[in-house]
Amino acid sequence: MTDLSSVESYLPQIVAAPDLTALESLRIAALGKQGEVTVLLKTLGKMSPEERQARGPAIQALREAVTGAIADRRETLERAALDARLAAETLDMTLPVDAPPTGSVHPVSQVMDELAEIFADLGFAVATGPEIETDENNFDKLNIPASHPARAMHDTFYFEQNARTADGSAQSNPIDGGLAGVEARRMLLRTHTSPVQVRTMQAVADRTNGRGEPIRIIAPGRTYRSDSDSTHTPMFHQVEGLVIDRGITMGHLKWTLETFLRAYFERDDIVLRLRPSYFPFTEPSAEVDVGYTLTKGKRVIGGSDGWMEVLGSGMVHPRVIAACGLDPAEWQGFAFGCGIDRLAMLKYGMDDLRAFFDGDVRWLRHYGFSALDVPTLSGGISS
Ligand code: DAH
């Protein structure tokens, strides 16, 4: 019969176990199916009640002591093994990575980054707004009332009015956070980035209790119109610019656009032509053409052999300023809107807009940009 003292000799062996394998052998020898402690425990069943009462507690205590000692030793050995691994396994972060980076930055993202960099230098912040808008922000507040012919020209994608969810409840309005007894507003996919002007001015009016403060933002983003051919896609990108301050004139507008386009096309010989035009939200309004030179039959931006329209602009209409809660007698400003995809095509020489959104890897490899070359004014906008 296994006696207690032979089992007790496991304790010093466990404490001295040199590694986890040795410890595991001891565990099997003591606590395994045929282990000495297990065998000892089995003897309890065959004892008389008196004997069991006399010897039972000692045997149970011994089992607990052996189990506890094994757990302690295991923890110590495991911690030591981890420490040893941590000390031995070092990773040299300065080693060059073997594989060249795959993937590229899409030209639209690249141009957006370039715009943000150029305008940040002029003190403009980047503003954003939702792509699902109210017709109030997309049209009414921009001085395009329901009867205005400009609405028809926008080929707008409207959402169903009073759209209902599957459970029959009125669909919550993503802008206002719920209909709650209010007449449902007609939602649409924004047809231009101009509603970000409205949101920005309104936010300033709210924050300053209508007193107002200077604003300088650009708002790049996705816009939607039901239109598709080689120069139009149902989803496209625009950038909006807005400056609000006291005493702003068309001179500020022209200088800003000239500075922007020179930095963007990375040429000093950029010539602008402002043509009188009409937009409901600006008065006066101007379309801006940029001059090009014919080089080997190709149009190259710069010089003035011919003119290409690049953006719409004007002085923010006093009605728009007032609709957004600011006093047009105190605050004036200019705004402009420009197609980002077109800007990319002009600078990087693509000729079919649809290829921008096909997701063809060969096209992306050819026209894409390295994620590691971030545009900076000092290091080169499109380096
Ligand atoms: N929102 C106009 C469009 O999509 C572009 C535009 C023109 C924006 C003149 C402006 C602006 O801010 O002043 O056609």
- For the chain, helix, strand, coil in percent to 5 are 40, 20, 35
Domain coordinates of the chain in residue numbers?
A: 4-87, 106-132+188-367
- Which tops the pLDDT comparison, 296 or 173? 296
Alpha-carbon dihedral angle through residues 184, 185, 187, 190, given to the nearest 10 degrees: -170
96: left (phi over 0), alpha (psi -120 to 50) or beta: beta
What six digits make up the tokens of 363? 């096209």
- Ligand 1 pocket: which of 156, 222, 240, 283 to mutate (most atoms <8 Å of CB)? 240
Q: Distance between CA atoms of 190 and 192, rounded to whole angstroms?
A: 6
The closest of 313, 128, 149, 345 to 232, measured between CA atoms, is 345
Cβ of 192 closer than 6 Å to ligand 1, yes or no, is yes
Query: In the chain, pLDDT over 70 holds for what percent of residues?
Result: 93
Atom of ligand 1 nearest to the CA of 338: 5
Most confidently predicted of 24-38, 241-255, 347-361? 241-255
Cβ of 336 closer than 6 Å to ligand 1, yes or no, is yes
Q: Distance between CA atoms of 83 and 79, rounded to whole angstroms?
A: 6
296: left (phi over 0), alpha (psi -120 to 50) or beta: left
pLDDT band at 188 (very low <50, low <70, confident <90, very high): very high
- Which tops the pLDDT comparison, 186 or 240? 240
Mean pLDDT confidence for 238-257? 97
Any bridge partners for residue 314, and if so which? 285, 335
Instruction: Tell me which residue has its CA closest to atom 8 in ligand 1.
Output: 337
Cβ of 129 closer than 6 Å to ligand 1, yes or no, is no
| Model pLDDT for residues 210-230, shown as the tens digit of each residue | 999 999 999 999 999 998 887
Alpha-carbon dihedral angle through residues 133, 128, 344, 342, given to the nearest 10 degrees: 30
Answer CATH for 106-132+188-367 from 3.40.50.300, 3.30.450.20, 3.40.50.1000, 3.30.930.10: 3.30.930.10
Any bridge partners for residue 295, and if so which? 298
Q: Distance between CA atoms of 298 and 93, rounded to whole angstroms?
A: 48
Instruction: Tell me which residue has its CA closest to atom 4 in ligand 1.
Output: 192
The closest of 223, 207, 196 to 127, measured between CA atoms, is 196
pLDDT band at 181 (very low <50, low <70, confident <90, very high): very low
| Model pLDDT for residues 369-382, shown as the tens digit of each residue | 988 878 888 777 77
The residue to which tokens 């900076």 are assigned: 376
Q: Which residues touch 278 (CB under 8 Å, ≥6 apart)?
A: 285
Q: At what angle do helices 20-31 and 36-46 cross, to 10 degrees?
A: 10
Alpha-carbon dihedral angle through residues 146, 150, 154, 157, given to the nearest 10 degrees: 0
Expressed in angstroms and rounded, the spacing between residue 216 Cα and the centre of ligand 1 is 16
Expressed in angstroms and rounded, the spacing between residue 303 Cα and the centre of ligand 1 is 25
Instruction: Tell me which residue has its CA closest to atom 12 in ligand 1.
Output: 336
Cβ of 218 closer than 6 Å to ligand 1, yes or no, is no
| Model pLDDT for residues 142-173, shown as the tens digit of each residue | 999 988 888 877 799 999 875 544 454 555 54
Q: What is the pLDDT of residue 177?
A: 44
Cβ of 337 closer than 6 Å to ligand 1, yes or no, is yes
Q: Distance between CA atoms of 233 and 235, rounded to whole angstroms?
A: 5
| Model pLDDT for residues 19-49, shown as the tens digit of each residue | 999 999 999 999 999 999 998 888 888 888 8
Q: What is the pLDDT of residue 83?
A: 93
Cβ of 280 closer than 6 Å to ligand 1, yes or no, is no
Cβ of 224 closer than 6 Å to ligand 1, yes or no, is no
Q: What is the pLDDT of residue 179?
A: 44
